[in-house]
Amino acid sequence: MDHDIRGSVSGKTITIIVILISIVGLWILGVVYILEQIGEEEGDQDLVIYAYESFQSYGLGPSVIPQFEEKYGVNVTVVTPGDVGTVLGRMNMEKEDPIADIVIGVDNSMLFKAVDMDLLEPYKPENFYRLDPTMNFDPENYVVPFDYGYIAIICNRELMHERNLDVPEDLLDLADPQYDGQMLLLDPSTSSTGSSFMIWAASAAGEDYSSFFEDLADNANGHVLGSWDAMYSQWSEGEAPIAISYGLDTAYEMMWYGTNNTITVVPDHQGYRQIEGAALVKGADNRELAQKFLDFILTDEFQSQVYNNYMLPVVPGIEIDQLFVEYGQDAEVHIEPTTHQVKINYDDWNEAWRQAFYN
Amino acid sequence: MISGEQIMELQGKKIRVWMRRSIGYTIPMIFLVLFCLYPLLLIMKFGVVNDEGQFTFRYLIDLVTDRIYLKVIGFTFTQALISAVITLVLALPGAYLLSRYKFPGRSMIMAASTVPFVLPSLVLAVGFLGIFGAQGTINNFIVDINGSLGTTLPPVDILYTKKVIILAHIFFNFPIALRILYSRFGTMDTSLENAARSMGAGRIRTFFTVTLPQMRYSLLSSFSLVFTFCLLSLGVILVIGGLNHTLEVEVMSLFKGLKVHHGGALVIVESIIVLLATLVYIWSSSKEGSRADVALGEGVSKWSGRRPTSITTILIVIYILVVFLVIFAPLTSVGMESLVSETSGSGLTLEWYEQVISTQNDPTISISPLGAIINSLLFGSLTMILSVPLSIITAHMLHGSKFKRKWILDLLLLFPIGASSVALGYGLVKAYSGSPYHLTGTWYIVVLVHSVIAYPLGARAVYSSLRSIPPNLIKASRSMGAGPIESYFKVKLPLMMPGILVAAVFAFAISIGELGATLMVSKEAFMTMPVFLYRMIEGGGRHFGAMNAFAVILMGITFLSFLAIEMIKRIFMKWGVNN
């Protein structure tokens, strides 16, 4: 039978099939060769760092990692699978055999989750004394803080004027009916900035946080976004005059566009700092080098670069950009809760937020 | 008397069929099980097993007794239904016109219509903002006409509402529906249509009473696909959907909140809903039977040559305008955005494109834009090469199977299409990061994952074509002396070509547009175009214009690639017809 099958195929068909298969085969070989080449360029991995995307894309990573590599003659790989939530989610999946040695971006709003899930290991660097003591949000030393920034209300100067709106003086003002439909908020369950904002709002409102969330939900009018970058770009395009962002946004605008259309509101009596830290991953393969990296974080070399992140150094006395000095603001009273307070209240706050916004 | 030799022969044939079938089932299934089913099951396991390793329904019960989750489930289902119906209604005339009439730029339209499929949702947001936003075209237009009415809010305020979600879903899924329906129209047996027309039925009546009923399977097939995609919608909601959460957004929230057990449980709930939708589809497609495949058809080529009459020309033009508004206007808006300078009032500029090129020297992006483009094309081509044969094999298995087996196969194929992309990403990490199989960061895991996502989609398209080939045609070619291989390559394959083309386009498009799973399993050196774009988006304001410029480049390259695929198809078709 086989003989019959072969016999009935014309030579032309066979030729065409053979040519086709050869082209495809050669193509595969070529592509695989190129990909192997590209993959090999990275070399050995002495230290693996997991970080949120903008650690690389804003430029903090690219400005400090090479310094560290040179200092110790090692090769560092930075992996950025998404935002901090995604990074922690991924580490949670790799718990049994962690790939990362260091995680960058664990902040004061989410440290408790990472500790709860047993992802981190405490380590106190020898130069820990350099840290501004008010920045030490973790008495158990699971994280080494590396930068901080205020969560702030930002207003589009032009639109505020056009629509005759008063610039809010503090966070509770956002409940005022004049802001109905005038703001973009962030979803705390998908955005880490949003999660900081929720904690800030709950701390500012105190006992009445549930009703404040209700008022916020009324005024937000459904304008709640899933990620900070989507929110910021839509706010820049004039979708709404008010949004939730960072304290150095005016400086940022000046720096990149040379314009000053952003009014940044950091309420004096309601300061909330997002303090970001790096941590040793539990079960890390390269512990020693990882610890060296954590020591490196509080050195001048690292701290003088955090401006790349549009954040401020956590070691006193580091010189900062003139624009940051000019347009940055400090609050007199800080209301960020301790890690312990966040831990015991987070679920209640989150539930109140859900009920207010999604019910 | 049957001689011993004949028995041997008969047995040999049986064994061959058996071998062919088991290989046909096994190969695609291995990929599916390893790179989709297994990772997903690992995630679902979280939903029913607690930290102590005990089986529990607690997490599932928590979810189904929560009012907000029930609301989310309801909304997810309703919006998917509405989006899918509107998408199909909009795509149907387009597919018909494209397959029945010849007009200039037809293959251009086909190629361009696929572009939305690869667009990251953040870029879509830019496009939608430009059209529907507070400062967008529509609002500006209304304000220009009416003057400012003293109101502080924009007159058309649909961003962050359910309406905009449906619009965005139409935008993303229109190409899929168009492609599948087009390939079905193209391979449809037109003798019934001709008969109806010659018996005096009008064109419209023929369409509704003869053509459309023959399309049932394809309509169902594209409906179920679009429905499933809308059910699993994530990016659109995050950027412009406001508070209208879908299940997938909640899955993402739970995993980001490190609540893996509830996350796993929600993935189970989500999968059950997708499953139910598919069961309906499988059931109704089985009812259809084989009535659609009747007499010997005249095939494809004859119809595609007809020139339109003047009334149809007008209809075509009107239709194209409508499609343009929904599909191409947002794309155009991205294009405009990439040419407008940030500093107001300084007109058009190419500075963003220059910035894209200058990222070559940007330390924050370790790879050049050209490198990202090349990576994408390499991955895209490998994905296509791997997944098209898988699609063809699977389509044959679907075609040759009895209902019972087909049912299971259909269900299994659903997994990559109907899988939560968030769960798949985490599941792949759970399965293949760390010992014993450390595959993350290799190039082949990227190709494998892209292929597994793509091939079931392609298989359905190829199957749709395969079904429409009249069995008599193959028999005829065999009786005229062609061997099975000869008749396969010269008769069957060319007739399957429209479906195969769809499979190729999907494979390439999925590979070029995939972001979530790629971010999870790939590494810096293998950065593809969407990952590059994501890096720019995350780079904040200073990359905003450049982001649009790169998005335009992404669209352009996608468009050109699809145009190339169209060309290759033509060559193939010619070869099939001439031989």
Q: What percent of chain A has pLDDT over 90?
A: 83
For strands A224-225 and A183-186, give the pairing.
parallel
Q: Is B87 left (phi over 0), alpha (psi -120 to 50) or beta?
A: alpha
Q: What is the pLDDT of residue A60?
A: 93
A42 inside 8 A of chain B by CB: yes
Q: How wide is the angle at C-alpha B552 spanned by C-alphas B549 and B557, nearest 5°? A: 130
Residue for token pair 């880490």: A192
Which of B183-192, B516-525, B557-566 bottoms out in mean pLDDT, i.e. has the lowest?
A: B183-192
B160 inside 8 A of chain A by CB: yes
What is the rounded distance in angstroms from the CA atom of residue B155 to the CA atom of residue B446? 46
Please give the average per-residue pLDDT across B6-23, as a whole number.
80
CB atoms near residue B41 (< 10 Å): 14
Q: Structure tokens of B299?
A: 């095939």
What is the rounded distance in angstroms from the CA atom of residue A284 to the CA atom of residue B76? 40
What is the rounded distance in angstroms from the CA atom of residue B119 to the CA atom of residue A183? 27
**How far A220 CA sits from the closest chain B CA (Å)?**
10
Statement to judge: residues A174 and A235 lie in one domain: yes
A256 chain-B contacts, CB cut-off 8 A: 541-542
Let me know if residue A21 belongs to a domain: no
Amino acid symbol at B290:
S
Strands (E), A231-313: 242-246, 262-265, 273-281, 312-313
Q: What is the pLDDT of residue B342?
A: 66
Q: What is the pLDDT of residue B542?
A: 58
What is the rounded distance in angstroms from the CA atom of residue B339 to the CA atom of residue B349? 5
Statement to judge: residues A161 and A261 lie in one domain: yes
Q: What is the pLDDT of residue B47?
A: 96
**How far A166 CA sits from the closest chain B CA (Å)?**
13
What is the rounded distance in angstroms from the CA atom of residue B459 to the CA atom of residue B569? 17
Statement to judge: residues A87 and A198 lie in one domain: no
Q: Peptide bond before B436: cis, by omega within 30 degrees of 0?
A: yes
For strands A143-156 and A262-265, give the pairing.
antiparallel
Residues B406-437: tens digit of each pLDDT: 788 888 888 888 889 999 999 999 999 987 88
Q: What is the pLDDT of residue B148?
A: 59
In the predicted structure, residue B152 carries a pLDDT above the cut 70:
no
Check: CB of residue B509 under 8 Å from CB of residue B118: yes
Statement to judge: residues A203 and A185 lie in one domain: yes
Check: CB of residue A83 under 8 Å from CB of residue A191: yes
B551 chain-A contacts, CB cut-off 8 A: none
Q: Structure tokens of A236?
A: 């820049």
**How far A355 CA sits from the closest chain B CA (Å)?**
8
What is the rounded distance in angstroms from the CA atom of residue B249 to the CA atom of residue B76? 10
Please give the average per-residue pLDDT across B488-516, as a whole number.
86
Closest-CA residue of chain A to B130: A237
In the predicted structure, residue B183 carries a pLDDT above the cut 80:
no
Check: CB of residue A288 under 8 Å from CB of residue A119: no
Q: Structure tokens of A114?
A: 């990472």
Of B68, B433, B543, the CB nearest to A359: B68
Statement to judge: residues A231 and A320 lie in one domain: no
Within 455-514 of B, beta carbons closer than 8 Å to A belong to 481-486, 489-490
Let me know if residue A29 belongs to a domain: no
Closest to A236 (Cα-Cα) out of B345, B140, B541 = B541
B252 inside 8 A of chain A by CB: yes
Q: What does the mean pLDDT of chain A come to?
A: 92
Statement to judge: residues A261 and A280 lie in one domain: no
End-to-end CA distance of chain B: 41
Q: How many domains does chain A have?
A: 2
A9 chain-B contacts, CB cut-off 8 A: 483, 485-486
End-to-end CA distance of chain A: 70
Check: CB of residue A296 under 8 Å from CB of residue B381: no
**How far A86 CA sits from the closest chain B CA (Å)?**
6
**How far A13 CA sits from the closest chain B CA (Å)?**
8
Let me know if residue A97 belongs to a domain: yes
CA neighbours within 13 Å on the CB side: how many for A113?
25
Let me know if residue A319 belongs to a domain: yes
Q: What percent of chain B has pLDDT over 90?
A: 31
**What's the CATH code of the domain at A265?**
3.40.190.10
**How far B348 CA sits from the closest chain A CA (Å)?**
17
Statement to judge: residues A226 and A344 lie in one domain: yes
The domain made up of B23-150+159-289+352-578 is a member of CATH 3.40.50.300: no
B534 inside 8 A of chain A by CB: yes
Q: Structure tokens of A116?
A: 């709860």
Statement to judge: residues A159 and A133 lie in one domain: no
Q: Which structural domain range is residue A85 located in? A: 47-148+275-329
Let me know if residue A2 belongs to a domain: no
Please give the average per-residue pLDDT across A118-134, as a whole number.
96
Let me know if residue A27 belongs to a domain: no
Please give the average per-residue pLDDT across A304-322, as a whole number.
94
Statement to judge: residues A215 and A347 lie in one domain: yes
Q: Structure tokens of A313?
A: 């150094």
Q: Where are the domains of chain B?
A: 23-150+159-289+352-578
| CB contact burial A317-345 (16+ within 10 A = b; e otherwise) | ebebeebbeebbbebeeebbbebeebeeb
CA dihedral B340, B346, B347, B348 (to 10 degrees): -50
**Residue spans of alpha helices (H) in B51-136:** 58-64, 67-100, 106-113, 121-132
B213 inside 8 A of chain A by CB: no
B74 inside 8 A of chain A by CB: no
Closest to A213 (Cα-Cα) out of A224, B230, B388, B450 = A224
A347 inside 8 A of chain B by CB: no
Statement to judge: residues A234 and A214 lie in one domain: yes
Bigger pLDDT: B476 vs B29: B29
Q: What does the mean pLDDT of chain B come to?
A: 83
Q: Are A79 and B524 inside 8 Å of each other by CB?
A: yes
Q: How wide is the angle at C-alpha A353 spanned by C-alphas A164 and A140, nearest 5°? A: 115
Let me know if residue A33 belongs to a domain: no
pLDDT band at B541 (very low <50, low <70, confident <90, very high): low
Residues A7-66: tens digit of each pLDDT: 456 777 788 888 989 999 999 999 999 998 888 766 677 999 999 988 988 889 999 999
The model's pTM:
0.91
B239 chain-A contacts, CB cut-off 8 A: 225-227, 230
A283 inside 8 A of chain B by CB: no
Of A12, A32, A256, the CB nearest to B541: A256
A233 chain-B contacts, CB cut-off 8 A: 122, 125-126, 537, 541, 544
The neighbouring-strand residues paired with A151 are: A246
| Non-local CB neighbours of B194 within 8 Å, separated by 6+ positions | none
What is the rounded distance in angstroms from the CA atom of residue A144 to the CA atom of residue A105? 10
Closest-CA residue of chain A to B486: A9
Inter-chain CB pairs, A–B, below 8 Å: 228
ipTM greater than cut 0.90: yes
Within 97-136 of B, beta carbons closer than 8 Å to A belong to 122, 125-126, 129, 133-135
Q: What is the pLDDT of residue B573?
A: 67
Largest CA distance in chain B: 98
**How far A331 CA sits from the closest chain B CA (Å)?**
25
Bigger pLDDT: A262 vs B2: A262
Statement to judge: residues A132 and A245 lie in one domain: no
**How far B132 CA sits from the closest chain A CA (Å)?**
10
Q: Are B525 and A38 inside 8 Å of each other by CB?
A: yes
Q: What is the pLDDT of residue B206?
A: 84
Let me know if residue A23 belongs to a domain: no
